[in-house]
Amino acid sequence: MCFGPQTKLTDIHPDSALALPLGLPASVIFLCVRQADCSGDQARARSLCSAALVAMKTALKKQTNDLNMTALWLKNVCLLHDLLIQHSPKQSLDSDELISMTTDLSDLIRSLSDLCIQAYQQLLSITETQLQKLIVPALLESETIAGLSGSAVKLVVSRKRAGSDPRPVGADAPTMASVLRQLGALHTALSCQSLPLSLAEQAFRQMTYLICACALNNLLLRKDMCCWSRGMQIRYNVSLLEEWLRSRGLQAGGTVATLEPLIQAAQLLQVGKKTAADAQAIVRTCTALSSTQIVKILTLYTPHSDLDEKVTINFIRTVQELVKGRSDTQPAQLLLDVRRVFPVTFPYSPPPALSAEELVIPDSLKISFLRRA
């Protein structure tokens, strides 16, 4: 098989690209590199691999806002990386069925590993951009439990008085359904490319952390959010997200656990805040919140009905004394770092045996100049 298709494979229209067999670009590129290696032309093998790397980088740059195409190139970069690892001398020695490549591609394999991370981060960045404008109105402000507080008008007035940017209200306001649609688009993009479940778990852990951090930070800065009814609304909204994650098998890898600070903040708004026993229960159960965050929520707590009472200064002081005695594993700062990025690990699993004869190349690609030897 001779090579010349890297540009053809990376410049195809998105509609055509998404209809290709999974990993076809990476498979074609690998077979061409291996053919050059088997022919003893190590310089050509390296140049082909290097050109493919540049072409895939360029393709990613062209698709910075396209979730599905970014997932496609993430798949192909990962597959090419794994194929080269699989056929490297060290790996091939463990299998009698594999033909070890003689060309040293270790530096290019490392570059492909870096490109895997770049593609993954681009994938998350696209989703994060869409989620940013939805998180606060959907998680904190939406009236998912109809008629619980009747506070929609108060929230709008409060925002305007605070000088914040007005958001759509009523039927146009973002809801949890809006958030789940964006998460669903990410899940579909990953699933359509058959990317590993463990990679999806890491991606959604990053997304749930962003959701938690944005929502909790906003809660800690808004007095109008700190009341019993809002606590119930927030907890219910988070439960919808938890159920969505579990229904897709994404609850592992810390994905659901990342939401715990927001869950505990919502519960703190709902529990009793009068007696010494209440104070002890708060300190005992709010383990994902720092002492600063607990005190801040109690200080901001505002009764929105005659059946509710403001938290007394004495109660807050009691909680402050109790939290001093616990082994606090949470940082002392008030706000979470919304830019925190978790490291990603790409699972290696040896790809199935690949041969040119079994490769299905659609005529639409117009790369009939590929010659099988």
pLDDT tens digits, 6-47: 656 777 778 888 998 999 999 999 999 999 999 999 999 999
Determine the pLDDT at residue 168. Answer: 58
Q: Are residues 157 and 273 in the same domain?
A: yes
Structural domain for 235, as ranges: 135-173+197-324
Contact 319, 194 (CB under 8 A): no
Q: Are residues 115 and 202 in the same domain?
A: no
Residue 370: inside a domain: no
Residue 183: inside a domain: no
Find the Cα–Cα–Cα–Cα dihedral 255, 260, 263, 264, rounded to 10°.
180
Put simply, whether the predicted model's pTM sits higher than 0.85 gets the answer yes
Residue 182: inside a domain: no
At residue 160's C-alpha, the angle toward residues 142 and 158, to 5°, is: 60
Q: Are residues 141 and 277 in the same domain?
A: yes
Q: Are residues 239 and 357 in the same domain?
A: no
Residue 189: inside a domain: no
Residue 295: inside a domain: yes
Q: Are residues 94 and 155 in the same domain?
A: no
Q: How many domains does the chain have?
A: 2
Q: Are residues 107 and 201 in the same domain?
A: no
Q: Are residues 80 and 215 in the same domain?
A: no
Residue identified by tokens 């925190």 is 340
Q: Are residues 144 and 25 in the same domain?
A: no
Q: Are residues 152 and 65 in the same domain?
A: no
Does residue 180 have a pLDDT over 80?
yes
Lowest mean pLDDT among 30-34, 157-161, 179-183: 157-161
Does residue 187 have a pLDDT over 50?
yes
